[in-house]
Amino acid sequence: MSGLGTMTLAFIRMTLRNRMALFWMLAFPAIFIVLFGFILGNDEGPDFEVGVVGAEQSPVSQGILEQMRQTASFTITLGTETDERQALEEGDRDAVLVFRQADSGRLSAQILYDQTDFQRSQVAMLAIQQFLERANAEMANAQPAIDITVEGVQSNALRFIDFLTPGILGMAIMQNGVIGMSMGLVGYRERGILRRIKATPFPLWKFLVAHVLSQLGIAVLQAIIFIGLAMTLFDLEVAGDVLSLLVMVISGCLAFISLGFIVSGMTRNVETASAVANIATFPMMFLSGVFFPVDTAPSWMQPLTKIMPLTYLVEALREIIIRGQSILTTWPNLLVMVATAVVGLAIGLRFFRWEPRAV
């Protein structure tokens, strides 16, 4: 076998034998999926207690209420705003939807949610928002707003596990890319392994390419394991095609390897590399829609979520896995991944050193 192939396989073998790497790249995300899958229910989807206030004010709001009633995920209670607020505070509701009609006749909707049970109410909010958005879209088309079909809603009815699995996959790809690349490369450089390779006729750039190839292999393995786990345990159905999924997994992995490459150029030892890589990935873990939808984040955070590459990877993975979209519709996200990879590589090359800093 060629040097490149042998080196790539050796890297994959080393990763699979490294307990720390195995835990963070495979076990940790898998535990998330299994844990949340069981905690937040699976078969029936989450059953949300939703209070609705003021739905009788307009045909539009009545239509939305009707539609929500027909969805298995919601248990609807009607009441006054005071009563429903109290019920929410007492933990009897996951969220409360309040309709108000202004003097101008314009209808507004407000979602109140339980901040102490954030995870659950986030998902409830997400589901409610889908109804509202759909209603809005209908209104913009000047169609009778009540005319909303039930089928469309059911296909969009989201279980938390469906929402979570692509998010976790995106997170794991990010960690494999950033942490795997930076800690691997810095370790090889500082421990003198790069210099030992340099003493052989095998070119160092091929050594790097082999490392990247091994990480792509690990990313594909992550996708197979996490999606397989959710399919087996929680009946996740992958709606999109495998090829689109593969393209997003690989482009995403390359984007984050590129960021890891920057980190490896800026740091001198594995400890610092690990710290910087974690600082870089940690905010993305929570602001890129891995665990809850980005649009539920506070408005001041919205611009932040928009500059995080993980936002676009997770969005595309979700579109493909849950909504059955293909790369033909998620190509802007693919473009973001490719751009991140290219820009990251360009910046990384400026900082990169083959040698440990001398003396």
Partner 1 sequence: MQPVAARQSETEPTAQPIIRVRGLVKRYGAVTAVDGVDLAVNSGEVFGILGPNGAGKTTTIEMIEGLRPPDGGSIEVAGVDVVRHPERIKHRIGVQLQKTALFEELTVRELLGLFATLYLTDARRSRIDGLLDRVSLTEKATARVSTLSGGQLQRLSLAIALVNDPDIVFLDEPTTGLDPAARRNLWDIIGSLKAEKRTVVLTTHYMEEAEALCDRVAIMDYGRVLACDAPRRLIAQLGPAATIWATLDGPALDEAALRSLPGVTSAQFVDGEVELQTEDPETALTALLQRVRQAGGQVERLTVTSATLEDVFLHYTGRRLRE
Which residues of this protein are in contact with partner 1, per CB under 8 A? 1, 3, 6-7, 10, 13-14, 17-18, 191-193, 195-202, 358-359
CA separation for the pair 129, 133 (Å, rounded): 6
Residue 2 C-beta: closest distance to partner 1, Å: 8
226/99 Cα distance (integer angstroms): 40
CB of 173 to partner 1, least distance (A): 22
342 alpha-carbon distance from chain centroid: 22
Which CB sits closer to partner 1, 67 or 215? 215
For residue 97, the SS3 value is strand
Q: How far is the CB of 14 from partner 1 (least distance, A)?
A: 4
H or E segment and range at residue 161: helix 160-190
Q: Write down the least CB distance from residue 170 to partner 1, Å.
A: 27
Write out the two tokens for 332.
Answer: 């802007």
What stretch of H or E contains 184? helix 160-190
Tell me the closest approach of the beta carbon of residue 333 to partner 1, in angstroms.
35
Task: Pick between residue 202 and residue 352 the one whose CB is nearest to partner 1.
Answer: 202
Name the residue nearer to partner 1 (CB basis): 14 or 150.
Answer: 14
Largest CA-CA distance found in the chain, in angstroms, rounded: 80
Quote the least distance from Cβ 7 to partner 1, whole Å: 7
Nearer Cβ to partner 1, position 127 or 181?
181
* CB closer to partner 1, 185 vs 284: 185
Q: Which amino acid is it at 264?
A: S
Provide, rounded to whole angstroms, the least separation between the CB of residue 203 and partner 1.
8
In the bound state with partner 1, the residue whose beta carbon lies nearer, of 176 and 311, is 176
Q: Which residues of 206-239 are buried (b: 16+ CB within 10 A; e: fewer)?
A: ebbebbbbbbbbbbbbbbebbbebbeeebebebe
Which positions ≥6 away from 19 have C-beta within 8 Å?
none
337 half-sphere exposure, CB direction, 13 A CA radius:
28
Q: How many residues does the chain have?
A: 359
Q: What angle do CA 35, 318, 115 make, to 5 degrees?
A: 55
- Least Å distance, CB 188 to partner 1, is 8
Cβ-based nearer residue to partner 1, 102 or 359? 359
Q: Which value, to the nearest 10 degrees, does the dihedral of the CA atoms of residues 288, 291, 295, 296 take?
A: -130
Nearer to partner 1, 10 or 224 (CB): 10
Give dist(CA 189, CA 233) in Å, integer. Answer: 42
